Amino acid sequence: MVGVDLFCGAGGMTLGAKLAGIRVSFAVEADVRAAATYALNHPEVELFAGDIRDVNTLLQAPVGESTVLFGGPPCQGFSTSNQRTRNRANQKNWMFREFIRLASLWRPDWLVFENVKGITETDSGSFLQAILQSFTDIGYTVTHGVLNAADFGVPQKRQRLFVIGSAHGASIHLPAPTTRRQIAVGAVLSDLPDLANGADCDILPYKQDTRSSFVRQLRDGEETVSGNLVTRNAKFILTRYKHVPQGGNWEDIPRRLMRNYRPGYECHTGIYHRLDPKKPSVVIGNYRKNMLIHPTQDRGLSVREAARIQSFPDSYVFSGSIGFQQQQVGNAVPPLLARAVFQSITAGQQ
């Protein structure tokens, strides 16, 4: 099966597709920094680093080989943490039309559309209904639902919407959970280097060997690991961290230390959240802005720690400044979750 990845970002969905045996041949990404990371890790894929609205032709698949078009249009406008722009006026909320346009142009055998769960709620669900109707209008049989990454071997509770379309009327069910016991972050991070606030030495040796099969899979025999970069927080931020227990959040910080917030302030529960080593992580989104705290160290997460929690292998390298690397990791689709979705398609092909 040959695949095309639209809005590919750093390449989480492409990696998941490749793990499911799909040969990804073409990808599109407008952000130059994410495109650089994608090209670095997927050099065999032809990459269009530009505006998807300028794409008017896709690859010519070999005769007899099935095809899949996949991708996740920008989702910030659908996020439940972005209430100001969760409406029809946000132009980014309409980028899914480019996915439909190219699906109509290429006519692949399969479509896989991914987005945040919030799209099911935006504008009373009208955006989701528009997407489903658009798939049907261009001739695809549609299956859709919300999956939790933690049910598919990812150490993170991250819910994502997936829509699968078949050009041949096939009835494909979303994958059933593959993990009987969810993976906790403690073991996932235990072998990575101890780091200080503001750590900036990119490549370091592992701290120790690991007994975790998940970690052994991601290490894949590597002796050193990159991405040991941590945001340098101000001292008053570090003081706040010390008050947050494992599994706690901003509500555990004394009010006298939060005076820069307005009186009677309220934050969502993901702000100043310290990860619980005995549980899967909360969502790795904009983890620098949310001030996600390491389970045992009073600092933010490193790029590699966040990438681990997203299920990227340690050999996967992120490019650009630390801020852009953090954004790429946080925006990505967890590869192991994507793999499960693509496997539900490839299994139906056999």
CA distance 233 to 300: 8
CA distance 140 to 136: 5
pLDDT of residue 95: 83
C-alpha of 229 from chain center: 19
pLDDT of residue 326: 97
The β-bridge relationship of strands 159-166 and 110-116 is antiparallel
pLDDT of residue 80: 46
CA distance 335 to 214: 13
The catalytic residues are: 75
CA distance 116 to 122: 11
Domain coordinates in residue numbering, the chain:
2-180+333-349
CA distance 82 to 122: 11
CATH of the domain spanning 2-180+333-349, picked from 3.20.20.120, 3.40.50.150, 3.40.50.300, 3.90.120.10: 3.40.50.150
| Helix, coil or strand: residue 274 | strand
Parts of the chain with a pLDDT under 70: 75-93, 262-266, 348-350
Residues in Cβ contact with 291 at an 8 Å cutoff, skipping those fewer than 6 apart:
233, 237, 240, 241, 271, 272, 273, 300
Question: Position of tokens 């990119």?
Answer: 202
pTM for this model (two decimals): 0.92
The closest alpha carbon to 316, from 7, 14, 50, 6, belongs to: 14
The per-residue pLDDT for range 216-225, each reduced to its tens digit, is 999 988 899 9
**Residue 248 vs residues 277, 307, 347: alpha-carbon distances, Å:** 12, 22, 41
pLDDT of residue 312: 98
